[in-house]
Amino acid sequence: MAVSETSERFNELVYQLVRAIPEGRVTSYGAIARVLGRPRNARLVGYAMRVAHEAYPPVPAHRVLNSSGSLTAKAAFGGSLMQQLLENEGIVVENDRVKNFRKVFWEPLGVISDW
């Protein structure tokens, strides 16, 4: 199976990290990319999320936002589903942006030291 193993591994690490996000907290694509040693690969994290629906266990991709706290993935979730999921966890969403983004932001580095 000669697929691009590097991106496969990167993909899996992204999933594992996203699954570690606590309920009611969010993080950003850039933060994940940085933790995985690819600070310039935030876009690839986004791409990984796009195909994350094929992964199991499921990945809570709705907890991953851009660096501004905007729901850039909203369209991919279809309508207001993403916002609903976030609000269901106690996160306040206003005008496609997470309120108190800095407060609910979850730093992935904490989990890395646990590995």
Q: What does the binding site for DNA look like in residue numbers (CB under 7 A)? A: 4, 6-7, 28-31, 33, 38, 40-47, 49-50, 52-53, 61-62, 64, 66-68, 72-73, 75-77
Work out how close the CB of 90 gets to DNA at its nearest, in angstroms, rounded to a whole number: 19
Nearer to DNA, 7 or 110 (CB): 7
Nearer to DNA, 17 or 29 (CB): 29
Work out how close the CB of 15 gets to DNA at its nearest, in angstroms, rounded to a whole number: 11
Count, residues in the chain: 115
Can you give the three-state secondary structure of the chain, one letter per residue?
Answer: CCCCHHHHHHHHHHHHHHHCCCCCCEEEHHHHHHHCCCCCCHHHHHHHHHCHHHCCCCCCHHHEECCCCECCCHHHHCCCHHHHHHHHCCCCEECCEECCHHHHECCCHHHHCCC
Nearer to DNA, 68 or 90 (CB): 68
Work out how close the CB of 42 gets to DNA at its nearest, in angstroms, rounded to a whole number: 3
Nearer to DNA, 49 or 93 (CB): 49
Work out how close the CB of 78 gets to DNA at its nearest, in angstroms, rounded to a whole number: 10
| Pair 71, 83: CB distance under 8 Å | yes
